[in-house]
Amino acid sequence: MALLLALSSVLLLVGPALAQSPDMSYEDYMAQLQACPKECRCPPSFPNAVYCDNKALKRIPTIPPHTWYLYLQNNLIDVMSTDAFRNATQLRWINLNRNRITSEGMEEGALAAMLRLVHLYMDDNLLSSVPANLPSSLEQLRLSRNRISKIPAGVFSGLDRLTLLELQGNKLQDDAVTEVSLKGLSNLVQINLAKNQLTTMPLGLPITITQLFLDNNAIEKIPADYFKGLPKVAFLRLNRNKLGNGGLPKNVFNMSSILDLQLSHNQLTQVPMIPSGLEHLHLDHNQIKSVNGSDICPVSADALEGYVTETAPKLRYLRLDGNEIKPPIPRDLMVCFRLLRSIVI
């Protein structure tokens, strides 16, 4: 009775606004608040959200039917059950970060009814494999810092709306990231494979990739034609790998799309060839002893004499600290890269 009185008081305050909302009627609003799990919080001012985070929960409570945003992070949940989500078909966003969910604890079809789910966050769990039967509506999937060593063939089939895939901090090896395992990701824009166990550049990445993060692996070389299959890469991070001069073919980064290249904490002794359109280059903490602007300049000396801003190399930020380079900055470097605004030595 006390709950009904409280809800009635809330309705007197917010009822007129809700009556004009196309998303929820008075009846649905009442039903949503009354169905709020006792372990959770359902703000009357934000009835589509259910907050069950930081409650030491061991299971997922039954979720009200008009929930769009569900927060379950920082609990002790080890099973993702079908029953808990049976009526929650309107979910758009689920945060299950920092729980104890295993691949065995992912009940088959637990997410099948969520035809509107856009964001699924499952960072910091105990998954050993990418979950199967994900909704085709998914746009962002975050699975960082699990124990994933497998990407089953076909697991991404039908996920042509997925644009972001976070897999950093897992146990993926070279044979796990292949064209077969990634098939279906026809619109993927960003993939994060940092802090895995890769020794070679991953194969079969979708041609739509613009952001590729491969930091903290054990990659030693990049095939000369590797980026021919990735014509849209604009942001490439390869910090903290095992790349030396021999592992970087001369024109491997000669791409018109690339804007930001990070090669910090590797084993380079020379500055690689810099693409004309590159704007940010991170080469700190390598073994580089000197920089010759004439050797790395992407345009000819004749072109520099007829210098115009539109055709000049676009490099604006260059980081070289943590090497064996001593000031001053070489003059030929500044002659070539006239748009440079910041150099860290």
Splitting the chain (345 residues) into consecutive groups of 10 residues, what average pLDDT does each group show?
42 36 75 92 94 97 95 97 90 98 94 93 98 96 98 96 98 96 97 98 96 98 96 98 96 95 98 95 96 85 60 92 89 89 92
In contact, 135 and 156? CB cutoff 8 Å: no
pLDDT per residue over 188-233, tens digit each?
999 999 999 999 999 999 999 999 999 999 999 999 999 999 999 9
> Which contacts of 209-218 are long-range, i.e. CB under 8 A and separated by 24 or more positions?
209/233, 210/234, 210/235, 210/257, 211/235, 212/236, 212/237, 213/168, 213/237, 214/238, 214/241, 215/239, 215/240, 215/241, 215/262, 216/240, 216/241, 217/193, 217/241, 218/242
Are 192 and 167 a contacting pair, CB within 8 Å? yes
Specify the 3-state DSSP secondary structure of 142: strand
Contacts of 35 (CB under 8 A, 6+ apart): 62, 64, 65
- Give CA–CA dist 215/58, Å, rounded: 34
What are the respective helix, strand and coil percentages of the chain, to the nearest 5?
15, 15, 70
Q: Are 198 and 173 in contact (CB under 8 A)?
A: yes
pTM: 0.90
